Chains A and B, each alone.
Chain A
């Protein structure tokens, strides 16, 4: 019943490099795993963090202590941050790039020279071989210019990622070196006019030639970032695949590495966009483009998985990029708020303005905490490559919406000035709008988060149910209570707050975070119960209950955010970072606010909500095709003659 067959029996014996108390190999309270006695239900080692929340399980060892770099890596990272920051400060004219809708060639070359085109390409292929954490850090800086950030991401986070994760040795050796230096630019070609979110419905075809030596590619893609400047494309097309078992011929997606030099490739003119105008976005057409069979990425028919793996891998960095933008805006906007005087007072003295800055700071704090927690989990997972797609999706949803609201609030603080093109706020706003749309729309990602989580819970509960059906209810109940804690109300404490001033075994929150942590704990228990209730109520039909799933997703996104901020603030206290008391305040406040939101959503999920009515209204309007209600001034002809008895005074 386990979703993965991968068990990590040796984990108890493996050093956890991020342990605060890393001197010992295993900390107190953890039993060692004998390879022969692996506990199949021990999800500490099989699944990364969030999915377990759906069954009311909070695996503290995966999120405490907050991931950190060792001193050497940290120093090197700081060294790399400096030249990149300087470049963006001195040699990038974002306003000009936006006006011209083009990144100047010198700027592009400067980025290539700095090494920013191959950040995660392994060292042996000429890249920088950066970890997810280091990549996220540099993402904070490149995000200062939206067009550049998207150009870089389209090139390496998705454009060449396929070759990195699904390519064979020959493909890597052939393509990665030139892509790493930026001599060649990459693009990711999946989207078509009739296939956006529904990626599996693409119609571009690749047919095997008679000689069997190459595929002929035919079709058209739209909105391809770097489409006009790329030399190497990762193209997704439908190929005929013979099902080995049934002999049936099916259409399945295959991924290809396609060079512009293969011929038959035309790019349309750059799209005129609302924001990220400097990024090149255009249609790309393939007409009988010959693609050698050696250029199939992964397996024929396995393209959809490749696409999903590529997209899932890069999302988490939106948290750090977003935080980079918001933090910069806070600084710029604060300058205005501290100098502008109205009603004989500085703007900063008004609570409404203070709230805006607090909101921006809290969101930035949560965004970056989530991003670096996710990156840390990915970088440090024993054995590598954990499936953190749900975590990454959560970071993306939260960050995209937070950036949009924060930029809007920052603009608001400046009032009329914020609306003027002289100031960069309107550009930041326009650039930020795409975040909620690309890399998986937030609507799709919410469904993904909720469904993956519910499926995980459902699979486990199915097992439970089987045992229930088999027999002894009492024993079963006991097992349930032991393992799952929740199920029949508030479960036991998950014990992730340390009782003593010194952090015990290192896998707990510092006591100063007790307020926030207790609220998070409560929510974890609530979620465990709620998941069971929902599955019992809807069973497989839950897939159609999008409004329910949306709330589940929002709740769990909030909970992941709460986890990240509590863990990070804990680290700040334990390490004695400057201003740690401010961080503790932020973390506890964030948890309180988010807990309140969650409780409202739990209430709505409990039963009494407006979903049915809302859906009816929406459906009626869509059926009619426009607003239905009569105009406020509309009247009927005979109304004045009807006897209406006025109320007795």
Chain B
């Protein structure tokens, strides 16, 4: 099943070109060494990061009506990385894909304005906000049986593989993945550019292909049900203590120690 409901961190799939390209490339030898990568970037429409989230009174979810939505900032970082690859002539085509309601097309348009060549919109009705689940990239790699490098903070191409520096709890880890591969972006990968107004206007001419989930034979019946959404508990006021003895006594009283 094509993962649909949440992207968590975004997904970037770098695939090798079709046979055509490889043969053509070979014949041109040194000149266009590796401009044969195609990059698929997932972009998701989420509640704008600056908006104050409010939980709906019935606790069934968060308020999304009339709330400002934008592209997930991590998706922007992913788009930026793809555009940089294209500018370095390492990638030849960038495709932006989004699974979501009709408004997801606005997000795809932003991706087109940032530099994607074309877009794919899979129409999926129903709520989708960012659940911060951090699953999509990993699930995609598993389904495609491709190698993955997640939480990337630096991506460099070396011959026919990618060297990726990952941010992990203990520090930085460098891995090598062969192509095609799935990469997910972390905050420090790059600083996304603004979609300039001239590019926004040019993006109008780029194509967005529209599909429904059924076109791919995908069953959207949820296997997960959100039972409730709540505000985090109100922070309790702290207490000041005068001495270590008092601290220990209080800890003992509250049963923590």
The reply to whether B201 and A128 form a contact with Cβ atoms under 8 Å apart is: yes
Q: Which residue of B lies closest to A83 (CB)?
A: B194
* Residue from A79, A110, A115, A578 within 8 A of B109 (CB atoms): A79
Residues of A close to B70: CB separation below 8 A: 82
* Residue from A75, A110, A114 within 8 A of B197 (CB atoms): A114
Write out, one digit per residue, whether chain B residues 31-48 have a CB within 8 A of any chain A CB (1) or not (0).
Answer: 000000000000000000
Write out, one digit per residue, whether chain A residues 89-130 have a CB within 8 A of any chain B CB (1) or not (0).
Answer: 000000000000000000000100111100100010000100
The reply to whether B195 and A83 form a contact with Cβ atoms under 8 Å apart is: yes
Write out, one digit per residue, whether chain B residues 165-204 have a CB within 8 A of any chain A CB (1) or not (0).
Answer: 0000000000000000000000000000011111011001
B113 near A: Cβ within 8 Å?
A: yes
Of the listed residues A75, A76, A86, A116, the one surrounded by the most CB atoms of chain B closer than 10 A to its CB is A76
* Residue from A79, A86, A123, A578 within 8 A of B106 (CB atoms): A79
The reply to whether B106 and A113 form a contact with Cβ atoms under 8 Å apart is: no
A84 near B: Cβ within 8 Å?
A: yes
A128 to B201, CA, bound (A): 8
A80 near B: Cβ within 8 Å?
A: yes
Residues of B close to A75: CB separation below 8 A: 106, 109
Q: Which residue of A lies closest to B113 (CB)?
A: A79
A119 to B106, CA, bound (A): 22
* Residue from B66, B198, B204 within 8 A of A76 (CB atoms): B204
* Residue from A76, A78, A115, A123 within 8 A of B196 (CB atoms): A115
A80 to B197, CA, bound (A): 6
Residues of A close to B194: CB separation below 8 A: 83, 86-87, 110, 113-114
* Residue from B106, B109, B195, B197 within 8 A of A128 (CB atoms): B197
B102 CB to nearest A CB, Å = 11
B72 near A: Cβ within 8 Å?
A: no
Residues of B close to A86: CB separation below 8 A: 194
Instruction: List B residues 191-247 near A (Cβ within 8 Å).
Output: 194-198, 200-201, 204
Residues of B close to A116: CB separation below 8 A: 197
B153 CB to nearest A CB, Å = 21
The reply to whether A128 and B198 form a contact with Cβ atoms under 8 Å apart is: yes
The reply to whether A79 and B66 form a contact with Cβ atoms under 8 Å apart is: no
B110 near A: Cβ within 8 Å?
A: yes
Residues of B close to A79: CB separation below 8 A: 106, 109-110, 113, 195, 200
Interface residues contributed by chain B, number (CB under 8 Å): 14
* Residue from B66, B196, B201 within 8 A of A114 (CB atoms): B196
Q: Which residue of B lies closest to A127 (CB)?
A: B198
Q: Which residue of B lies closest to A578 (CB)?
A: B66
Q: Which residue of B lies closest to A75 (CB)?
A: B106
The reply to whether A80 and B200 form a contact with Cβ atoms under 8 Å apart is: yes
A79 to B109, CA, bound (A): 8
Residues of A close to B198: CB separation below 8 A: 115, 128
A437 CB to nearest B CB, Å = 30
A86 to B195, CA, bound (A): 10
Write out, one digit per residue, whether chain A residues 55-88 have a CB within 8 A of any chain B CB (1) or not (0).
Answer: 0000000000000000000011011101110110
A113/B110 contact (C-beta < 8 A), A76-B204, A578-B66 known: no
Write out, one digit per residue, whether chain B residues 104-131 have a CB within 8 A of any chain A CB (1) or not (0).
Answer: 0010011001000000000000000000
Residues of A close to B197: CB separation below 8 A: 80, 83-84, 114-116, 119, 128
A114 to B196, CA, bound (A): 4
Of the listed residues A82, A113, A115, the one surrounded by the most CB atoms of chain B closer than 10 A to its CB is A82
Residues of B close to A128: CB separation below 8 A: 197-198, 201
A119 to B204, CA, bound (A): 17
Q: Which residue of A lies closest to B204 (CB)?
A: A76
Write out, one digit per residue, whether chain B residues 46-72 have a CB within 8 A of any chain A CB (1) or not (0).
Answer: 000000000000000000001000100
B200 CB to nearest A CB, Å = 5
A73 CB to nearest B CB, Å = 11
Q: Which residue of A lies closest to B109 (CB)?
A: A79
A184 to B201, CA, bound (A): 22
B72 CB to nearest A CB, Å = 14
Residues of B close to A119: CB separation below 8 A: 197
* Residue from B66, B196, B204 within 8 A of A83 (CB atoms): B196
Q: Which residue of A lies closest to B68 (CB)?
A: A82
Residues of A close to B106: CB separation below 8 A: 75, 78-79
A110 to B193, CA, bound (A): 11
B170 CB to nearest A CB, Å = 32
Of the listed residues B66, B110, B196, the one surrounded by the most CB atoms of chain A closer than 10 A to its CB is B196
Residues of B close to A82: CB separation below 8 A: 70, 110, 195
Of the listed residues B194, B195, B196, B197, the one surrounded by the most CB atoms of chain A closer than 10 A to its CB is B197
A300 to B197, CA, bound (A): 37
Instruction: List B residues 80-116 near A (Cβ within 8 Å).
Output: 106, 109-110, 113
A123 to B204, CA, bound (A): 14
A607 to B238, CA, bound (A): 73
A427 CB to nearest B CB, Å = 23
B50 CB to nearest A CB, Å = 9
Residues of A close to B110: CB separation below 8 A: 79, 82
Q: Which residue of B lies closest to A72 (CB)?
A: B204
Instruction: List A residues 543-581 near B (Cβ within 8 Å).
Output: 578
A316 to B195, CA, bound (A): 28
A569 to B18, CA, bound (A): 57
Of the listed residues B70, B109, B113, B194, the one surrounded by the most CB atoms of chain A closer than 10 A to its CB is B194
Instruction: List A residues 367-405 near B (Cβ within 8 Å).
Output: none
A176 CB to nearest B CB, Å = 14
A114 to B197, CA, bound (A): 6
Of the listed residues B70, B106, B200, the one surrounded by the most CB atoms of chain A closer than 10 A to its CB is B200
A231 to B194, CA, bound (A): 27
A87 to B110, CA, bound (A): 15
A581 CB to nearest B CB, Å = 16
A123 to B205, CA, bound (A): 14
A113 to B193, CA, bound (A): 11
A110 to B200, CA, bound (A): 16
A264 CB to nearest B CB, Å = 35
A378 to B197, CA, bound (A): 23
A75 to B103, CA, bound (A): 10
Q: Which residue of B lies closest to A114 (CB)?
A: B196
Residues of A close to B66: CB separation below 8 A: 578
Write out, one digit per residue, whether chain A residues 518-555 have a CB within 8 A of any chain B CB (1) or not (0).
Answer: 00000000000000000000000000000000000000
A86 to B113, CA, bound (A): 15
Residues of A close to B201: CB separation below 8 A: 76, 123, 128
Residues of A close to B204: CB separation below 8 A: 76
A113 to B199, CA, bound (A): 10
A119 to B200, CA, bound (A): 13
A506 to B196, CA, bound (A): 38
Residues of chain B whose beta carbon lies under 8 Å from any beta carbon of chain A: 66, 70, 106, 109-110, 113, 194-198, 200-201, 204
Additional A-B contacts beyond A75-B109, A79-B109, A84-B197 (10; CB < 8 A): A76-B201, A78-B106, A79-B110, A79-B200, A82-B70, A82-B110, A83-B194, A119-B197, A128-B198, A128-B201
Give 8 nearest A-B pairs by CB, closest first.
A115-B197, A83-B194, A115-B198, A114-B196, A83-B195, A80-B197, A79-B200, A115-B196
Pairs A–B under 8 Å by Cβ, sample size 12? A76-B200, A76-B201, A76-B204, A79-B106, A79-B195, A79-B200, A82-B195, A83-B195, A84-B197, A114-B194, A123-B201, A128-B197
